Amino acid sequence: MKKAFRRILLVLFSVLILVTGFFYYLRYQTKQASPEAVELYEEDGVRMEVHYSRPSKKGRQIFGSLVPYGETWRTGANEVTTFESNIDLLVNGKRLPAGKYSLWTIPNPNEWIVIFNTKNSGWGVDMNGKASRDAQFDMLTVISRPQTTYGIQDTFAIDLSSSNMSLKWDQVKVDVTLDPVFMD
């Protein structure tokens, strides 16, 4: 009886190790295709940081196809994109309290909805590939107009500056204004 129990435990432990190793391998392979990036802005006591993964165009049609219009996008690949600020900001004129947020977008041809959400949704998509944003945790929603660029941005990028955040991919650029709110 003891031998049978040990064998069962050994088999279960072996399967657990193999499954865990397989998932780490899959995660590693996925991140090679869309590497992680950190964009940091730090000046005059203001610190903003974005963690995201950078998918590439690879000859594909991006907006309206790979990233459908009118549907929530995790704004990158792999884990959900996060935005963090140590100070309150006016985002397109609306106040966003200091903190860490998941960053979501809903692209459309003539406007993008940019969403700062208080819930970190892990991988960013559910088992069906749909964005896993929980709207009840939306802290702030703003609208920005997409611009068409002349050159092609092959790899998705997010840039931070003293006054804005730019989302760039393919021939689309979306700017969101970021104005620090200094307390008196």
pLDDT in tens, 81-115: 999 999 999 999 999 999 999 999 999 999 999 99
85 plus 166 within the same structural domain: yes
Q: Which domain holds residue 19?
A: 1-33
Which residue's structure tokens are 């964009």? 39
Write down the pLDDT at residue 40: 96
Query: Over 90: is that where the pLDDT of 21 sits?
Result: no
| Arithmetic mean of pLDDT, 143-157 | 96
Range in 20-24, 79-83, 115-119 with the lowest mean pLDDT:
20-24
| Arithmetic mean of pLDDT, 107-131 | 83
Question: How far apart are the C-alpha atoms of 112 and 181, rounded to whole Å?
Answer: 24
45 plus 128 within the same structural domain: yes
Q: What is the number of domains present in the chain?
A: 2
8 plus 80 within the same structural domain: no
With cut-offs at 50, 70 and 90, classify the pLDDT of residue 174. very high
| Arithmetic mean of pLDDT, 133-155 | 94
Q: Which of 69, 103, 71, 72 has the alpha carbon at shortest distance from 85?
A: 103
104 plus 126 within the same structural domain: yes
8 plus 44 within the same structural domain: no
Q: How many helices (H) and strands (E) does the chain have?
A: 1, 10
25 plus 63 within the same structural domain: no
Element (DSSP H or E) covering residue 68: none
Write down the pLDDT at residue 182: 81
Query: Over 70: is that where the pLDDT of 125 sits?
Result: no
With cut-offs at 50, 70 and 90, classify the pLDDT of residue 175. very high
52 plus 27 within the same structural domain: no
Query: Over 70: is that where the pLDDT of 149 sits?
Result: yes
93 near 176, Cβ under 8 Å?
no
Between 86 and 2, name the one with better pLDDT.
Answer: 86
DSSP state of 146: E
Written as one string, the DSSP assignment of 85-131 is ESS-EEETTEEE-SEEEEEEEE--SS-EEEEEESS--TTSB-TTS-B
29 plus 99 within the same structural domain: no
64 plus 13 within the same structural domain: no
59 plus 94 within the same structural domain: yes
81 plus 9 within the same structural domain: no
Q: Is the dihedral of CA 91, 93, 99, 100 positive or negative?
A: negative
Q: Could you tell me the pTM of the whole model?
A: 0.80
Q: What percent of the chain clears pLDDT 70, i.e. is strictly above it?
A: 86
Nearest-Å Rg of the Cα atoms of the chain is: 20
DSSP state of 136: G
46 plus 79 within the same structural domain: yes
